[in-house]
Amino acid sequence: MNSENAKPAVLVTGVSSGIGLAIAEDLLKHGYQVFGSVRLIEDAEQLVGRWGRSFVPLVFDVTNDVTLQEAVIQLSSALQGRVLKALVNNAGVSFAGPLIHQPWDEIRQTFEVNVFGLLAVTRTFLPMLQAEAGQPAGRIVNISSVSGTITVPFMATYAGSKHAVEAFTQGLRRELMPLGVHVAAIEPGFIRSRLFEKAAATKPLDRYTDTRFAAAWRAFNLSLRELESQAKPAGIVSRAVLHAVGAKKPRTRYPLDSLWYIGRYLPDRGFDRLIFKALGIERFMCFRLL
C-alpha cells in the first residue's frame, strides 16, 4: 500500500468550484485522500495539477446512473478494500424566480440535482461506507442550507429542495444507525461561491417583466447582489465538514448562520416583514399582509 492509500479517503461531489473546492482543499490539507466528482475532464486535469496525487478525480454527473456506476468501479479499485471515511454530498444548483411563473425545467433540474442526485449518490456509494465488525463505519455529510429551514420570496424552488435535503438527512441518519453510519447536515447561509453566479444567466433583471412581480423581482436581484458581496467565505463550511467527518462525536446538524435560528423561532408574520425589508422588497409586498 502506497502512502496515499494509507490516508483516510473521502468522496466529495461537485469540487470544481466554490464550496466543494474549499471542502476538498481543506480535507487535503488535513491529511485526507480526496476523491472528487467533476463533470468535465478539463476540470479533472486542472485539479490534479493543483493538488497532486492525494486528489483523485471522478468524472460523473449525480443525475446520470451510467456515470455513477463507472465511478463506483473506479473508486472501488482505488480504495483497495478500505472503507470510505466519508461521503460529502455537496453538488447543487440554484435557480430563482416567482414560483407561479418559474420554468418547469428549472424546478425539475433543481430537484433532480439537489435531492434525487444526492439520494442516488448516497445509495450508490453506501456499501463503501460500511465496515466489517469491530471497525468504524464511514459518515455521510450533506451540504444543506439555511434555506432548508426558511423560504424567502423567489427562492422557493431552491428552498424546497433544501427542505427535502433536511428531511432526507434526518431519515437517513435514523435509518442508518444500525449500520453505524452517522449522517449530518451542514446549513450555511450566503457563502462566496459560484452557485448563484452559474445561474445568473437564467435570471437577468428584465426577466418576468410581463408579470405582476416585475418590480419586486428587479429589487430582489439588486439586493441579492449586495448580499452576495457580503457573503461569508467558503472556509466556514469546510471547517464544519472537517468536524462532521473527523470528530469523535459529530453533530447531527451544523447551522452556520443566525438566520437559521431567526427563521425557525420567529413568528411567521414577523419573519415576513424582516425578510422583505432585508431583500429591499417591502414596498411591493408588505401591503399584502393580512
Which residues, including other chains, have CB under 8 Å from residue 159's CB and lie 6 or more apart?
145, 147, 148, 150, 151, 152
Q: In whole angstroms, give the CA distance from residue 91 to residue 161.
A: 12
Check if the beta carbon of residue 156 is closer than 8 Å to that of residue 101: no
| CA-wise closest residue to 55 among 76, 33, 38, 40 | 33
- Which listed residue (158, 208, 254, 265) is catalytic? 158
Would you call 208 a catalytic residue per the annotation?
no
Distances from the Cα of 210 to the Cαs of 104, 156, 206, 276, in angstroms? 18, 20, 9, 22
Catalytic residues: 158
